[in-house]
Amino acid sequence: MYYFASDIHLGAGDEQSARAVERRFVAWLDTVSRDAEAIFLVGDIFDFWFEYRRVVPKGFVRALGRLAELTDRGVRVVFFTGNHDMWVGDYLARECGMEIYTSPQVMTLAGKKVFIAHGDNMNIDGQPLLKLLNRVFWSRTLKWLFSWGVHPDLALKFGHWWSGKSRKRHGAADRRVALTEPSTGPVEEPGTGSLIEYAREYAQTHKVDYFVFGHMHFPRDFREGNFHVVNLGCWAENPSYAELDAAGDMTLKMYTS
């Protein structure tokens, strides 16, 4: 079995709510690891993550410990960076044994071609400000200057402030949908259309059985003939995950604990 989750946003909100989300995520890891061949974490697992050479954000001990335990047992854990945790270095790979990808990937799983990406930076040609911010955030030079010129305490304070603004723009709590019901036809939620359109254009020239995205914070199972796009939900409001079974069937599910 292959499992997919995104937008856990570990560390977001007040201490009590952040701890509740972390415990829920760890409980889910315990559940799916019983038969998981691989677990895919599709971006924004952390609300903000920035690695210095010898310093990483404190916290997330339960989640990081469980992930390290899973990889020690031989469970493959694949981490895709999102717009909140794009500044990973080698710590998560070295200490937790995770595979790290910073760009979309097409992988063959259970005999199916699965396109996996967080979902940010897709179909943004009409958003010049966002394109500029992406260049800034992905600049190795600016990252180096930031790490050498900004104290970690200030960096994390700024990062959590910026991340909080980003999460509020999604407004996920106001766009709840049925998690277990496949959705077909026109997409109404703001933002989903760009990901669907990106996937549709990509599928015209590439053989893909499933597209798996996060980023938009609400779950959606979009099917149109053989075209199938799964949007994973944010775990603070709509904890959901996708499951790909041995027969090659992809299902979007709600997690309750």
Specify the pLDDT at position 72.
97
SS3 43: coil
Rounded to two decimals, the pTM is 0.82
Specify the pLDDT at position 152.
72
Specify the pLDDT at position 105.
96
Q: Which CATH architecture has domain 2-254?
A: 4-Layer Sandwich (3.60)
Digitized pLDDT (tens) for each residue of the chain, 257 residues in all? 999 999 999 988 888 999 999 999 999 999 999 999 999 999 899 988 888 778 888 889 999 999 999 999 999 999 999 888 878 889 999 999 999 999 899 999 999 999 999 988 775 565 565 555 566 565 667 766 666 677 777 766 666 556 665 555 555 443 444 333 344 433 344 445 588 989 999 999 999 999 999 988 889 999 999 999 999 999 988 899 999 999 999 999 999 87
Specify the pLDDT at position 172.
42
Specify the pLDDT at position 163.
61
How far is residue 18 CA from its own chain's centroid?
17
Which helix (H) or strand (E) segment holds residue 167: the answer is helix 152-170
Specify the pLDDT at position 173.
40
Specify the pLDDT at position 51.
82
